[in-house]
Structures are given as C-alpha cells and as structure tokens.
Amino acid sequence: MKQVTLTLLLVICVSLFPQDTASAEALSNKEHNWSFNPAQNNQPATTEPLYEELIEKYGGLYIGDTREKELYLTFDNGYENGYTGEILDVLKEKEVPAAFFITGHYLKEESDLIDRMVNEGHTIGNHSYHHPSLPAVSDERLEREIRSLEEEYEKATGRTDMMYLRPPRGTFSERTLAKTAEMGYVNVFWSLAYKDWETDKQKGADYAYEKIMKRVHPGAVMLLHSVSSDNAKALPKVIDDLKAEGYTFKSLDEWRLKQEEFFQ
C-alpha cells in the first residue's frame, strides 16, 4: 500500500507541477522495450525497476490503484480488421468505457468508427501518425508525429481532448518520455496483455478468455488489439464475468481525476 501511495503522489506531482523538460535532448535516448511481469493468482503485475522509476518521474501510467478492483480497458487501433464495430456494440451494451489509441492511417480510413467512439463516450488516444519507434526519431519528427495526428483529430471531430499517448511499438526512452510529457501527454503502457495481434493465428474466444482472466488483477491497464477476432468474441463474457467478480471498468479520465482528488 505504501508503494501505491507513493506512486500516486509522484504521478500527481508531475501532472500538477511539470518538470523542466526543456533539456530533453540531453537525456538518455537508450531505447527500452516495454515489458511487464505477470504475477500468479491474479495479483498485480510489476515491471522493471528502471521503467517504474521513469514512469513515475514523467507522470505516465502502466497500472492503476492495486487496492481497488478497477480496470482500464484500452485498444490499439493501427488498422481496421472488421471487428471494432462489434467491440463497440459490446461496450455500449455493457456500458463499459474504453480508450482507443489510433494512428493517422486509422483516422483517415475509419471516420465512421472514430465518430462512434467519440459519440459513445470513449477516449481517443494518440498512437502517432506513422507509428515509428519514437527513440529512433528526432525531437522535431517526434513532435510532428504527435501533433499532426492531434490536429487531424481536431479537424475530424472538433475536439481538443487528445492527451493520452501509447508509445508506438512499445518502445521508449527517457528523452521521449520527457518530450511527450512536455507536450502535455500521459504515456500509457499496460500491465495486462497477451499475443493477440497475429490475425492469422487466432485460437478462438475460449483461448482469449482464459488468457485475459488468468492475468487480470486489481488496477490492471488492459491492452487488447481490435484486429483480433478472438477478443471480439470473448469480450462479452470477459466483461460479464469480471463484473460478477466485483471489478468495475474506469476511463483514463477517471484515473486522472482520482489522482487529483487523492492529492487534494
């Protein structure tokens, strides 16, 4: 509990009192690949100590309050494979909020689905315009990747609420965390995922259900890919059974609000 409280305080302090990131170029640009360590018996996952330190320092998120049976459902949407509409139908029926992290390609090609996400109260997150590894590009290119998607999103929807970033490919460095935090973004990683993105290796709804239920834990930030037919088929039972176990699904905005209230 002490560790969770300290994490919350650090994240809040970064959000309310941003660090001086003007010297981001001088920070380490060593590329890291996000990873997490699943625990047994639905206990909270962990990550590398360095990753934990960097996320706390720059106000990111990979896990919520592990004292509460709260879940954050997120999807990565690089391209459409015909299942997002079905997923949105389930979320609407079950009254569950989610975050969809989109690319420039998705924004241009799937305007109807974007409209549904917005109109049905979901969060639209930034997954960059062209999906490059951010440590591999300059500060100027990084800013273009993020701002260009942000601007196109505003043109398409009239909204200016894009504030969550899922680093493309799950790669990051201290420089990219600092730069994107300076731009006003919260880097959102995850504490629950499985290999669901290979569209030619889907194994059925039961397989997806077992993978998700085995790894779920209090405070989980769940990463699923909407290209997976397994996820679309398993999602109704996943949601129903998790609710029956006492879990509630929260939005990323609720996570931010909870931290601000905790700080006050």
Q: Which residues are identified as catalytic?
A: 76, 225
Question: What is the rounded (10 degree) CA torsion for 49, 50, 56, 58?
Answer: -170
CA distance 191 to 46: 7
Check: CB of residue 149 under 8 Å from CB of residue 130: no
Distances (CA, A) of 216 to 55, 77, 171: 21, 21, 23
Q: Where are the beta strands (DSSP E) in the chain?
A: 32-33, 70-77, 99-102, 123-126, 164-165, 171-172, 186-187, 221-225, 248-249
Q: List 124's β-bridge partners, or say none.
A: 100
